Amino acid sequence: MSDLKWWETAVIYQIYPRSFQDSNGDGVGDLPGITSRLEYISNLCVDAIWISPFFESPQKDFGYDVSDYCNINPEYGTLKDFDILIAKAHSLGLRLMIDIVPAHCSEAHSWFQESRKSRNNPKSDWFHWVDPLPDGSAPTNWLSFFGGQAWSWEPLRQQYYLHNFLPSQPNLNHANHEVCEAFENIAKFWFDRGVDGFRMDAVHTINADKPPYKNNLAKPNFKTGILPQEQQPFFRQLHDTAQLNQNSIQGFIEKFRKVADSYEGDRFLMGELHGDDPVSASKSFTARGRLHATYNFNLLEWAGLSVEGIRSAIASAIDAFNGTGRLAFAFSNHDVPRSATRQLDALGLKQDQQEALQLLLLKLEVCLIGSTCIFQGEELACADVQDIPLDLMQDPWGKEFSPVFLGRDTCRTPMVWSKESNSWGDFSTADKTWLPISKEHLERAGIDEMNRPESVYNQFSSFLKWRKTQPAIMEANTMELINSRDHQIIFDRISNNQSLRCCFDFNTLTTSFSEN
């Protein structure tokens, strides 16, 4: 029997609630909609679901701007709806994780509304307030991920406040112990409702430093280009010495971990982080008593990766984390173009190879050490949606940089379930959905594909059933890369009871497995 915890080998299905299933005809997905589709997820044979934020929010960044961490945004449902959802998930053998946003909240949150009023109120130190420089400018050269400065002026306090994302997403001051205590209470609120873990959003952007802050350094040998990482000023800077991945973050994480460990059932903390040296940061963030795992960006390159790029990403993970379950891999999520499009282009493959490539990528990632996160629609080989009209775009990041960069709407369009059901593929009965339905996705509707024996959905489901029977994958997190041809990735998964050779051929788009 394996001594591994459930999360060390878990396949986690990510749900973007706004785009999964609408139950009340308003064009927006919701919690009852998720509940109605849980059998579809359970039949895929994954181990857990992760639901992106559904908390009360003005939705300026679609849930990642929280105005109440312990309540449900009305368009998604109610706390009772959540309780019904988690009960059904558990009855189907699915663990349930939710997405917590600890680095920042919404400007509409009562914490910020009180803090911005004056310099001497009970919440005055809950955010990063800094006086201007003598010339009136911002205190540092820090930039926002979404464009512009990371500091905005507040006339009431006559000070700048920090926001690593939108101005409407002020960064919380984690040097204030009351802020940390507030998040410990938030964790307890959701653990008490039965949540099995948290995906902790952008933990590398938590800020607990005090002024005077350091400036970011310029990135050496920076070259301009058309990709989002290259076209935006933010990526001209190095951040880990000042703005991001601060050492003080670990104190918050350690306190949060103690809360998780006080509950039975192996509650899981998976932290999203990035930075100048993400592997080194991951080691620190997953040290004893901190996060169980980090959400790994190595395979999420916006423009996709060559076979050698994929092999290199895997190699760096093995070098740092072999023998552990401290990484969670993903080829796609709600922030990057879908892998069926990204990797098809990067590998120079043709459109009719989309399904075979997607199945290969799915099999590859669930054979790596640690856990895996599968974004909704990946099991259907859905492509990215590149033809959303500019006037229908919703993502603030895309609006800022369009038409050169279309943002994240392209991977967030609603799931479709039945081609023959209605114009929206049974996602909704509304006259209009929050993002347009992809006509191409109608040809890959979820329930239709579940009922088609040869679909990617069913082939992947069968593979996950087989995976659960393999000791080399389920009983140990050890692997060894094997020298291979340019078009292949080969590695051994190794346990005391089995050595399993895994071969992924990007020329034939086939996989093979054999015991050594």
- The DSSP bridge pattern shows strands 498-505 and 488-495 to be antiparallel
157 — pLDDT class (breaks 50, 70, 90): very high
37 — pLDDT class (breaks 50, 70, 90): very high
Note whether 364 and 356 are within 8 A (CB): no
Q: Compare 278 and 408 and report the one with higher pLDDT.
A: 408
Q: Residue type for 118, please?
A: S
Q: What's the pLDDT score for residue 7?
A: 97
Q: Compare 297 and 503 and report the one with higher pLDDT.
A: 503
Note whether 370 and 325 are within 8 A (CB): yes
Token pair of 14, please?
Answer: 């990510």
C-alpha span between 428 and 443 (Å, rounded): 17
Catalytic residue among 272, 379, 395, 449: 272
Please check the confidence at residue 468 and state whether its pLDDT lies above 90.
Answer: yes
C-alpha span between 228 and 401 (Å, rounded): 9
C-alpha span between 463 and 46 (Å, rounded): 11
Catalytic residue among 30, 196, 201, 365: 201
C-alpha span between 268 and 289 (Å, rounded): 12
Q: Examine the residue annotation and report whether 201 is marked as an active-site residue of this protein.
A: yes
Q: Residue range 309-323: average pLDDT?
A: 94
DSSP 254-309: HHHHHHHHTSSS--EEEEE---SSHHHHHHHHTSTTS-SEEE--TT--TT---HHH
pLDDT digits (tens, 9 = 90+) for 109-152: 999 999 999 999 999 999 999 999 999 999 999 999 998 999 99
Strand partners, 270: 199, 293
Please check the confidence at residue 452 and state whether its pLDDT lies above 90.
Answer: yes
Q: At 467, is the secondary structure helix, strand, or coil? A: helix
Q: Examine the residue annotation and report whether 365 is marked as an active-site residue of this protein.
A: no
Measured torsion, CA atoms of residues 202, 207, 212, 215, in degrees rounded to the nearest 10: -10
The CATH code belonging to domain 6-104+177-208+249-467 is 3.20.20.80
Token pair of 168, please?
Answer: 């409407």
Average pLDDT, the chain: 95
Q: What's the pLDDT score for residue 402?
A: 84
pLDDT digits (tens, 9 = 90+) for 420-433: 888 899 999 999 99
pLDDT digits (tens, 9 = 90+) for 64-87: 999 999 999 999 999 999 999 999
C-alpha span between 338 and 302 (Å, rounded): 9
C-alpha span between 434 and 393 (Å, rounded): 9
Please check the confidence at residue 230 and state whether its pLDDT lies above 80.
Answer: no
Please check the confidence at residue 495 and state whether its pLDDT lies above 80.
Answer: yes
Cβ-proximal residues to 303 (8 Å cutoff; 6+ apart), any chain? 227, 342, 345, 346
**Which residue do the tokens 């140990």 mark?**
476
346 — pLDDT class (breaks 50, 70, 90): very high
Q: What's the pLDDT score for residue 227?
A: 63
**Which residue do the tokens 């990510």 mark?**
14
Q: What's the pLDDT score for residue 247?
A: 86
**Which residue do the tokens 């050594």 mark?**
516
Percent of the chain topping pLDDT 70? 99
1 — pLDDT class (breaks 50, 70, 90): low
Q: What's the pLDDT score for residue 281?
A: 87
C-alpha span between 114 and 22 (Å, rounded): 35
Which residue blocks in 324-425 are alpha helix, DSSP H? 339-346, 354-366, 396-401
Q: What's the pLDDT score for residue 401?
A: 85
Please check the confidence at residue 229 and state whether its pLDDT lies above 80.
Answer: no
101 — pLDDT class (breaks 50, 70, 90): very high
C-alpha span between 381 and 153 (Å, rounded): 45
C-alpha span between 342 and 322 (Å, rounded): 27
Q: What's the pLDDT score for residue 395?
A: 95
**Which residue do the tokens 């994780």 mark?**
97
DSSP code of residue 253? H
Please check the confidence at residue 225 and state whether its pLDDT lies above 90.
Answer: no
Evaluate the CA torsion angle 326, 279, 307, 352 in order and state its sign: positive
